[in-house]
Structure 1
Amino acid sequence: MANIQIPWLTAIILLPLCAAFAIPFMSDKEGRSVRWYALGIGLADLVLMSYAFWYQYDINSSELQLIETYSWVPQLGLNWSVGVDGLSMPLIVLSGLISTLALLASMKVERKPKLFYFLMLLLYSAQIGVFAAQDLLLFFLMWELELVPVYILISIWGGPKRLYAATKFILYTALASIFILVAALGLAFYGDTVTFNMTELGMKQFPLALEVLAYAGFLIAFAVKLPIFPLHTWLPDAHSEASAPVSMILAGVLLKMGGYGLIRLNIEMLPHAHVKFAPLLVILGVINIVYGAFAAFGQTNLKRRLASSSISHMGFVLVGIASFTSIGMNGAVLQMLSHGLIAAALFFLCGSTYERTHTLMMDEMGGLAKAMPKIFALFTAASMASLALPGMSGFVSELTVFLGAVQSDVYSSSFKMMVTLLAAVGLIVTPIYLLSTLRVVFYGKNETEFKFDKFQADAKPREIFVTACLLIPIIAIGLYPKLATTTYDLKTTQVASRVRAALPVIVEQQPTQKNSYFSSTAFSAPKVIDTNG
């Protein structure tokens, strides 16, 4: 009997999508059965991907696995081509975990429950499709599909300024995503053969000018999603108005699409252009780290403070992927996974606090530690992870990025020293604003006297369970990083080697510039022969 090839990835991607279309036909108007149905689908998909990756995926290989290719719309050259490797597999698992926990966190949704859970399952499917797509048109389609449910989720279930925040989100992200399509078409139609397959595009030899233009187009789109200063302004507004479950997915998963896209498309497919843009990415990363930290320190709205914190933490991803070292690339991926878990926990607890106080202004809170000791303890643990306390994932990921940047032999010592000092400023400000948040919210003087019922005010078992599911891997990775790094270490090493192979050959350098490509404090390069045209 012939072995039956099970389309694991197709099933993982389409299960939430197909299940979502059954919701409108359910007779439950109050949403009681709908919420359990959606949660069951999310959990089933998480179990399915865990089984597939545990038994069918080989972590000792850096190559694409579980590849599935089907002709979809041949007239447009659109194929259903999916696959996973060390870069996409952990992010798919992260998406499944956070999306399932977000469904559990949204059990109290009463307004239009059918529409809400329909959109949540649609978003679940789209974000996995982004990480699994191996066809550029399919990648673009999934990228666009993910924008629609987020826009509606914010505009209907958001705060008082939800329409403004949702409109700003869709304008920024939708307009920026056009650059993905333009760059994809330019790459696909170059040469004698037309292809949107990422693997085939990675083997094509493009003129340097075309690589640079395509790189710039991808960078604009991913800079908005990551987000990178100054294209970040949609993020604080979206977070401050979005409900807690949507913020969990927005910070925990959607921001990681920007980092993933930079590695998958910009670096892996366009390594020669990356050599030109890498110093700019480092500079933008440092700006993100410092600006985000100081912006967070100046916020009095709890959600906006956490959103600004995300901008700062994602700056480490830029520094890591532009370091030209495997350890720096390794740290960038670990930072995406770590921040996804930490940010999801913080925004969920922020939502739990809002449900009880009905305010996000920190100066209107204060003294909540006595009324909510369990939430205080969980919020403190998540904050410690965010400020990179040793023993938690945030410390390991940021330290790895620093080591990768410092050990890079491509940049000059003066450039690396300046980057390290400026990034250290952001690291110093981070514990200040996070500890200040804990002090103001949980120990400060409250102008409004909250009258809590001690049996109603503190964390419920559901809230403790959701937070624990996020804190356990945070602590586990912090104590034993190999739990995460073994899944992608070979892949990040391969990508770093590919980029280093694209470096030009240095033919003239001063004694003080030895082994350095970008070598002066003005970020100018020595004279080189560009062997790549």
Structure 2
Amino acid sequence: MLTDQLPWLTAIIAFPLVAALAIPVIPDKDGKTLRWYALGVGIIDLAMILSMATAQYDFHALGFQLVETYPWLPQLGLNWSVGVDGISLPLVILTGFVNTLAIFAAWRVERKPRLFYGLMLALYSAQLGVFMAKDLLLFFTLWELELVPVYLLISIWGGPKRLYAATKFILYTALASLFILVAGLGLAFWGDRTTFDLAELAQKDYPIGLELLAYAGFLIAFAVKLPIFPLHTWLPDAHGEASAPVSMVLAGVLLKMGGYGLIRMNLDILPHAHIQFAPLLVILGVVNIVYGAFTAFGQTNLKRRLAYSSISHMGFVLIGIASFTDLGMNGAMLQMVSHGLIAAALFFLAGVAYDRTHTLMMDEMSGLGKAMPKVFALFTAGSMASLALPGMSGFVSELTVFLGLSSSAAYSTSFKTVVVFLAAVGLILTPIYLLSMLREVFYGQPTEELTPNRWQWDANPREVFIALCLLLPIVGIGLYPKLAMDSYDGQTVAVAAKVRAALPVVAQGKTAVGLASVPLTAPQLD
């Protein structure tokens, strides 16, 4: 139905894309007008998001709010239906924040600036649409549209192996996305009424066989995006070749789409199947943490080391999602927000160092600490946040995930002990590879090739401003996590409660219709 209120969400989603369409006709000779125009669009849209969150959104209500539904292609059952709830709102704010700073970080783009800024704004709209889509077909459509700008941004403005990295990215993500469509169609056509509305899909009663198949399909698609081992190999290549602004968006927002999809589709719509897959998610989360940390050691490329660090940190999201507890779910959401800020800051600063040295090889960047003291200080602060230093957001989010799993009654004590021990190994490895990264890049004697003009290399005021904009909320959330948790706590608690309510049903032996006529079992209770 049509909403009586102003179409806030449609305006927020459409504004960057509509503004991008005007870029080809904007008069500009030196690129400066385009820079300010794109940045202005980002700031205005971020202001609209914050205004919506503070003036229109009710933090105490559950379910989708500010819903706008308009017929789009009724013959195909496709509606423009958007809304926000506690799961999507913090990620919408994160999207606006990171994308606006990424546009500001792209101040020195000289090659095809019209196309670059147009693609950045189009990507901005697509990401917002994914997080606000209330219709499954609309979600899939925007999920696919988001891939095109990323592919072009890597393949045109990337490094020497940009075509390989961009092609690998599009093949992995586009092919995996088809599983969203197949699983979604299966759920939509089940029962007496065909619907693609996410809230209505969550109310349907599916046979466990269909739930398991749909869950597996969604899991494959979101595992590529998150990414989950072994479907992660596109990420280091993409980060290694992408420009710094694109890496900021890739690590800060796009990876979070995988975690968001797991909560929105796999948990909220398919709670019975989630109970069956949850132990696997915990195991995959531990593998991500340990594998990502160990592999980061072997990387001599700065951005590839940070990419494997991201893979490791996203393992905590999986563990939190699979914990069956309110704390675990809250920790997973907080980890997505926290990592989005931390990763964006680190990849931006890596780009600042690359702009001066024209290399990402850490052994060729040694001794930058004296030449770039501001970058050194900011990079150190970001690394401390990434290794979960107390007082920063990474510490709170990872601790909350640990507590959530440890307090879960759905797993045996021995299973939880092994998981916590292995995850702790990853936590121990994280400061080692991050501190060794700082040592290689900023300490020691500079190489002869990088010696001339080193003393004019430090971060300029614009770059310091961007880094501080990312680091300040990291510290703010670390000192006062309620600042972020209040935006999603009610909704994540409701989703966790829905999954726990399904535990007795599965434990009593809900039959796997369509797969096997054998009873299924829930995770072991103590």
TM range (shorter): over 0.9
AA at the equivalent of 1:458: D
2:327 corresponds to 1:310: no
SS at match of 1:300: coil
**How far does the alpha carbon of each residue in 1:214-258 deviate from its partner, in whole angstroms, 9 at most, with x for none?**
000000000000000000000000000000000000000000000
Counterpart-to-counterpart distance in 2, 1:442 and 1:502: 52
**How far does the alpha carbon of each residue in 1:281-319 deviate from its partner, in whole angstroms, 9 at most, with x for none?**
000000000000001111110000000000000000000
Number of the residue aligned with 2:516: none
Once the two structures are TM-superposed, the CA of residue 337 in structure 1 deviates from its matched residue by 0.1
Once the two structures are TM-superposed, the CA of residue 41 in structure 1 deviates from its matched residue by 0.3
**How far does the alpha carbon of each residue in 1:18-40 deviate from its partner, in whole angstroms, 9 at most, with x for none?**
10100112232432211111110
**How far does the alpha carbon of each residue in 1:346-394 deviate from its partner, in whole angstroms, 9 at most, with x for none?**
0000000000111100011111100000000000000000000000000
Number of the residue aligned with 1:223: 223
Number of the residue aligned with 1:126: 126
Once the two structures are TM-superposed, the CA of residue 504 in structure 1 deviates from its matched residue by 2.9
* Alpha carbons 1:30, 1:113 under 8 Å: kept: no
Cα distance change of structure 1 residues 213 and 245 upon mapping to structure 2, 3 Å threshold: same
Once the two structures are TM-superposed, the CA of residue 58 in structure 1 deviates from its matched residue by 0.9
Alignment map for 1:367-386 (pairs within 5 Å): 367-386=367-386
Counterpart-to-counterpart distance in 1, 2:61 and 2:296: 40
AA at the equivalent of 2:294: F
Once the two structures are TM-superposed, the CA of residue 517 in structure 1 deviates from its matched residue by 5.0
Number of the residue aligned with 1:511: none
Give the counterpart of 2:523 among 518, 525, 532. Answer: 518
Number of the residue aligned with 1:428: 428
Once the two structures are TM-superposed, the CA of residue 448 in structure 1 deviates from its matched residue by 3.3
Number of the residue aligned with 2:111: 111
Cα distance change of structure 1 residues 4 and 63 upon mapping to structure 2, 3 Å threshold: closer
AA at the equivalent of 2:100: T
Alignment map for 1:457-496 (pairs within 5 Å): 457-496=457-496
**How far does the alpha carbon of each residue in 1:259-298 deviate from its partner, in whole angstroms, 9 at most, with x for none?**
0000000000000000000000000000000000001111
**How far does the alpha carbon of each residue in 1:110-157 deviate from its partner, in whole angstroms, 9 at most, with x for none?**
000000000000000000000000000000011001000000000000
Counterpart-to-counterpart distance in 2, 1:455 and 1:51: 43
AA at the equivalent of 1:518: P
Once the two structures are TM-superposed, the CA of residue 192 in structure 1 deviates from its matched residue by 1.4
Alignment map for 1:289-328 (pairs within 5 Å): 289-328=289-328
* Alpha carbons 1:365, 1:441 under 8 Å: kept: yes
Counterpart-to-counterpart distance in 1, 2:177 and 2:95: 21
Counterpart-to-counterpart distance in 2, 1:335 and 1:147: 24
Structure 1 stretches lacking a partner, 5+ long: 509-515, 520-524, 527-533
**How far does the alpha carbon of each residue in 1:172-204 deviate from its partner, in whole angstroms, 9 at most, with x for none?**
000000000001111111111111000000001
Counterpart-to-counterpart distance in 1, 2:396 and 2:32: 41
Once the two structures are TM-superposed, the CA of residue 445 in structure 1 deviates from its matched residue by 3.4
Once the two structures are TM-superposed, the CA of residue 205 in structure 1 deviates from its matched residue by 0.5
* Alpha carbons 1:301, 1:362 under 8 Å: kept: yes
Alignment map for 1:83-122 (pairs within 5 Å): 83-122=83-122
AA at the equivalent of 1:72: W
SS at match of 2:68: strand
AA at the equivalent of 2:504: P
Once the two structures are TM-superposed, the CA of residue 507 in structure 1 deviates from its matched residue by 6.8
AA at the equivalent of 1:241: E
AA at the equivalent of 1:295: T
Calculate percent identity across the aligned residue pairs: 71
Counterpart-to-counterpart distance in 2, 1:293 and 1:253: 21
**How far does the alpha carbon of each residue in 1:329-354 deviate from its partner, in whole angstroms, 9 at most, with x for none?**
00000000000000000000000000
AA at the equivalent of 1:226: L
Number of the residue aligned with 1:80: 80
Once the two structures are TM-superposed, the CA of residue 455 in structure 1 deviates from its matched residue by 6.1
AA at the equivalent of 2:443: Y
2:160 corresponds to 1:155: no
Q: TM-score, normalised by structure 2?
A: 0.96
AA at the equivalent of 1:288: N
Counterpart-to-counterpart distance in 1, 2:437 and 2:423: 21
Number of the residue aligned with 1:38: 38
AA at the equivalent of 1:155: S
2:245 corresponds to 1:241: no
Counterpart-to-counterpart distance in 1, 2:443 and 2:49: 42
* Alpha carbons 1:363, 1:446 under 8 Å: kept: no
Counterpart-to-counterpart distance in 2, 1:103 and 1:59: 30
Number of the residue aligned with 1:512: none
Counterpart-to-counterpart distance in 2, 1:494 and 1:456: 54
Counterpart-to-counterpart distance in 2, 1:105 and 1:507: 55
Alignment map for 1:443-458 (pairs within 5 Å): 443-451=443-451, 453=453, 456-458=456-458
Number of the residue aligned with 1:286: 286
Counterpart-to-counterpart distance in 2, 1:456 and 1:239: 27
Counterpart-to-counterpart distance in 2, 1:72 and 1:518: 43
Counterpart-to-counterpart distance in 1, 2:101 and 2:200: 37
SS at match of 1:69: strand
Number of the residue aligned with 2:167: 167
Once the two structures are TM-superposed, the CA of residue 446 in structure 1 deviates from its matched residue by 3.3
**How far does the alpha carbon of each residue in 1:444-471 deviate from its partner, in whole angstroms, 9 at most, with x for none?**
3333342354663101000000000000
Bigger CA drift: 453-462 or 305-314? Answer: 453-462
AA at the equivalent of 1:391: G
Structure 2 stretches lacking a partner, 5+ long: 510-520
* Alpha carbons 1:325, 1:404 under 8 Å: kept: yes
AA at the equivalent of 2:62: S
SS at match of 1:269: coil
Alignment map for 1:37-56 (pairs within 5 Å): 37-56=37-56
AA at the equivalent of 2:206: F
Counterpart-to-counterpart distance in 2, 1:11 and 1:56: 14
* Alpha carbons 2:364, 2:447 under 8 Å: kept: yes
Counterpart-to-counterpart distance in 2, 1:332 and 1:160: 36
Number of the residue aligned with 1:349: 349
SS at match of 1:82: strand
AA at the equivalent of 1:49: I
* Alpha carbons 1:411, 1:517 under 8 Å: kept: no
AA at the equivalent of 1:399: L
AA at the equivalent of 2:368: L
Counterpart-to-counterpart distance in 2, 1:124 and 1:337: 17
* Alpha carbons 1:68, 1:82 under 8 Å: kept: yes
2:58 corresponds to 1:58: yes
Counterpart-to-counterpart distance in 1, 2:296 and 2:365: 18
Number of the residue aligned with 1:11: 11
Counterpart-to-counterpart distance in 2, 1:139 and 1:452: 51
Aligned length in residues:
512
Alignment map for 1:401-416 (pairs within 5 Å): 401-416=401-416
Once the two structures are TM-superposed, the CA of residue 60 in structure 1 deviates from its matched residue by 1.1
* Alpha carbons 2:16, 2:121 under 8 Å: kept: yes
